[in-house]
Amino acid sequence: MIVCVAYYHLVTERRPKLSFAMLAVISLLVSISSYAQIPGMTATKKWDLNGYIQYLSTATLLDDDANALDHLILQRFNYEYRFTSQLRFNAGMRNRLLWGDSADIPGYADAIEYDFGYWDLSTNWLDDNGMIGNSQFDRLYIDWSNNNWQSQFGRFRINWAVNTLWNPNDIFNSYSIYDFDYQERAGSDAILLSRKLGFASAIDVVYNPNSDSDLDSYASRYLFNNQGWDVQVLAGKSRLDYVLGVGFAGDIKGAGVRGELSWFEPSQEEWENESLDTSLVTSLETDYRFSSIANWVGRIAVLYISDPDSVENTGQFLNFPRTARTLSFTRFTYYADFGFDISSLNRLTLSSSYYDDGSYFLGLSDAHSLSDDWQLMAVLQRFDGSSKSLFGKTPGTLIFAQLIWSF
């Protein structure tokens, strides 16, 4: 890939560390409990186990630098055990084997191993001769629910997004729009308490600790439905910022319309000798599904950030984790995509984005269902722009080939 090894408070933090031995023990216990119940001997199945195995090949073709080829084999499992109808345990684990040109870069293995959560649930069990093996839990939590109440504790995904692309309201689990091969997205180490208030109405409270207490996050959200429109308001603290936000989703003459807005107010004047400023982040998007056999769907979106992120190069933007405040590096960013079915088993999607510094992205993806359990996908991503733009300084093309078997 266009590589930038991002340390971001790497290695120096002291956090609870999950060793490889602990990973192996937890995996073994999950497997044992999965097979402990003999089919036909119990009235109700208390557990579920599913996942997939993926092979991904990535070719990085840089216009002004050496090309690179990387490989990834990823095995994932999702496990759930139901103690009662109200109490359940969930675990999701990624086991990755990487090799290729990027694996030889100094510090790359440390970047792969690094865990951004409060608990360090990632470990490298192989780092030798250009091969890196890593295991990580991105889901590990207890869920309790009773009528209108729900609580979760551990590592889980907190999805406060309304939009399908850029999410200023998703202050706990933001992600890059170009990261297509991590469908589940990362989780957060947190405590959540939720109360249903009626039809499409609820209130959520979340506390998300950090090893540095200055970076603790917490927030509450109230959501409701008014005349067919879903609306949410939220308030709290996201790392170094106090946050106020609002989001909405509805329909206008058959077109889906969604929007999110968040106001970030720094909790302190500076951090690590850099001054902190207020920022308004808002995004509006719409999509329309055309009536046709080919299932034509178009989507457009715009993102505005009053105080955009300062980024040095393309690799830093693509590889650093995004936050709801740092979704882009320019004030205005525009996006459009269009997808249709070539056949009942094959779908093609064209996408593009434009940044107001002159950078642009062009994308093409072709997803083909080989059978009920097998899928093949080819993805092409082009990053380019004017000579003074961020992408234009290091233009390049990424080509991905992905094969997935689900179980």
C-alpha distances out from residue 167 to 70, 171, 307, Å: 30, 8, 16
pLDDT at 362 over 50: yes
Backbone angles phi, psi at 385, to 5 degrees: 160, -175
* Model pLDDT, residue 31: 47
Given a contact cutoff of 8 angstroms between Cβ atoms, the answer to whether 326 and 306 are in contact is: no
* Model pLDDT, residue 18: 56
The helix (H) or strand (E) run that includes residue 131 is strand 131-146
pLDDT at 384 over 70: yes
Tell the residue number behind the tokens 């039809």, with chain if given: 199
Q: Kindly report which listed range (22-26, 108-112, 267-271, 349-353) carries the lowest average pLDDT score.
A: 22-26
Q: What percent of the chain has pLDDT over 70?
A: 89
* Model pLDDT, residue 19: 52
pLDDT at 172 over 80: yes
Query: What would the mean pLDDT of 160-182 be, rounded to a whole number?
Result: 93
Tens of pLDDT, residues 45-92 = 899 999 999 999 999 999 988 999 999 999 999 999 999 999 999 999
* Model pLDDT, residue 315: 84
Question: Concatenated DSSP letters for 296-311?
Answer: -EEEEEEEEESS----
Query: What would the mean pLDDT of 20-31 be, rounded to a whole number?
Result: 49
Reference 349, options 368, 328, 334; nearest CA is 368
CA angle in degrees (0–180, nearest 5) for 256-202-235: 85
Average pLDDT taken over every residue of the chain: 90
What number of CA atoms fall less than 13 Å from residue 164's CA on the CB side? 13
Given a contact cutoff of 8 angstroms between Cβ atoms, the answer to whether 128 and 121 are in contact is: no
* Model pLDDT, residue 320: 80
pLDDT at 373 over 60: yes
**Backbone CA torsion sign across 36, 189, 309, 319:** negative
The helix (H) or strand (E) run that includes residue 76 is strand 68-82
Question: Concatenated DSSP letters for 139-197?
Answer: EEEEEEEETTEEEEEEEE------SSS--TT--SS---TT-TT-TT---EEEEEEEEEE
Strands 241-252 and 297-305: unpaired
Tens of pLDDT, residues 277-316 = 999 999 999 999 998 899 999 999 999 999 998 888 888 8
Tell the residue number behind the tokens 């003999």, with chain if given: 38
* 357 pLDDT tier (thresholds 50, 70, 90): very high
* 5 pLDDT tier (thresholds 50, 70, 90): very low
Intra-chain end-to-end CA distance of the chain, in Å: 29
What is the C-alpha separation between 114 and 301, in angstroms, rounded?
32
pLDDT at 109 over 80: yes
What is the C-alpha separation between 396 and 61, in angstroms, rounded?
6
What number of CA atoms fall less than 13 Å from residue 351's CA on the CB side? 21
